[in-house]
Amino acid sequence: MLWFLVQSIKRGKTFSISKLSKLKAHIKLKLRCIKRTKMQKNRLIKIVVVASATVLVGVMLCLWIGRPTTEHAGPPERVSLGLSWIHQAQFSGEYYADQKGLYRDGGLEVTLIPAQIDKDPLDDLLQGNLDFVIAQPDRLIKARSSGAKVKAIAATYRIHPLVFCSLPEKGITKPQDFSGKTVGVAYSEEIILKAMLRKLDINLDEVNIVTRDYNFNGLLSGKLDAQGAWVTDEVQTARRQGVRFKMIQPTDYGITFYADIIVTTEDMIRNNPQLVERFLKATLEGWARAIEDPEKDSELTLLYNNKLDAVHEQDVLMTSLPLIHTGEDQIGWMKDEDWESMYKMLLDEKIIEDSVSFKDLYTMEFLEKVYGR
């Protein structure tokens, strides 16, 4: 089935999202059935990811063909985009749009600004220093509940890269095993962890939740029994160093939480909607094209920081593919039920008060225009 779809797309045939979903199920079945050696499995995963990306991009690029573009006359408009982290391949779609002229074709001159470790880029958006930012959902929800007039216009990671890692000898294979254990978290990881524990009726008082560092020292030293990490980043670094973990992915337990949402102000949406549409269209097309050849396109990251490890950036993009394009809907798409669930998570933690509607957190206006829906 996989070979047939890849060859068909090369011949110019298009496929529906429902067909793509069947492919996803087919891939999962194959991975489940093959349990030979680790080398065989790892090789298969890489082949499947690359082939899946080819299929996904074939479908995505077909969606762009014939799509009307909002015209812009005159010189390019200058736009600033604040990234949620330092330069890394998790922004490959934006890099592709920048380097391959997609922003320029949309009449835009976009400056990509990496985040400072100790500063949230959303603060700069609220202060009027940025036009768009890539932010995390909990930060947007807190800002909106405090009266900030900001909204998400798309979600890059529709599945959060967060996994909870533990050493094999700890015997932690499921969330229920966290009882009586010390688990390290950072930022929104605590919200996701507690939501998962609550969903599974696990007593939060029985889990010692502490702040983690941005490495695995606490885990390797025995200070932590488990800790959060992004499977696209820290886990890949540890894997290349020969460290192996047991991993628990919250999405496997029904927890949906986006990552790297694209945010702008209501003023921008109201006063310059055509610019917002052109910016989002170029960004999403950048993502659709960047995943066509992740091994090559991850190298674009090095143009923004030539000291980065090319192998690591390739791993970042490769492991991001199924989290960005899940085989359901289109890249960047958002759902009411997902935003309602994320909003409720913060309510449950008493991080916010029920002062706004979850539907005020985002708009589908521009995604619908870009995809013609």
What one-letter code names the amino acid at 229? A
pLDDT value of residue 71: 59
Please write the tens of the pLDDT for every residue from 7-41.
344 334 444 443 444 444 444 433 433 333 333 34
Domains 77-159+258-371 and 162-253 share a fold: yes
pLDDT, average across residues 50-73: 48
Task: Give the distance, in angstroms, between the CA of residue 170 and the centroid of all CA atoms in the same chain.
Answer: 29
pLDDT in tens, 178-227: 999 999 999 899 999 999 999 999 999 999 999 999 899 999 999 999 99
pLDDT exceeds cutoff 70 at 340: yes
- Going across the sheet that includes 246-248, the strands are 208-211, 182-185, 226-230, 162-166, 246-248
What's the pLDDT score for residue 120? 83
Kindly give, in sequence order, each residue whose CB lies less than 8 Å from that of residue 35, ignoring residues fewer than 6 positions away: 41
More confident residue, 67 or 193: 193
pLDDT of residue 14: 44
Annotated domain spans of the chain: 2-64, 77-159+258-371, 162-253
State residue 214's pLDDT score.
Answer: 86
Structure tokens given for 262? 């694209």
Contacts of 135 (CB under 8 A, 6+ apart): 84, 120, 121, 122, 125, 260, 261, 263
Residue type, 222: G
Instruction: Please tell me which of 57-61, 70-74, 99-103, 354-358 the model is most confident about, judged by mean pLDDT.
Output: 99-103
pLDDT greater than 80 at residue 266: yes
CB atoms within 10 A of CB 319: 22
- What topology does CATH give the domain 162-253? D-Maltodextrin-Binding Protein; domain 2 (3.40.190)
- Mean pLDDT, rounded, of the chain: 85
**For helices 137-145 and 336-348, angle between their N-to-C axes, nearest 10 degrees:** 70
Its CATH architecture, for the domain 77-159+258-371, is 3-Layer(aba) Sandwich (3.40)
* Per-residue pLDDT tens over the stretch 140-190: 999 999 999 999 999 999 999 999 999 999 999 999 999 999 999 998 999
pTM score, two decimals?
Answer: 0.84
Q: What local confidence, expressed as pLDDT, does residue 73 receive?
A: 65
CA dist., res. 339 & res. 30, Å (int): 32
Pairing of strands 150-157, 259-265: antiparallel
Tell me how far apart the alpha carbons of residues 268 and 266 are, in angstroms, rounded to a whole number: 5
Q: How far apart are the first and last CA of the chain?
A: 29
What angle is formed at CA 242 by the lines to CA 303 and CA 234, rounded to 5 degrees?
45
pLDDT category of residue 373 using cuts at 50, 70 and 90 = confident
Judge contact between 182 and 224, C-beta under 8 A.
Answer: yes
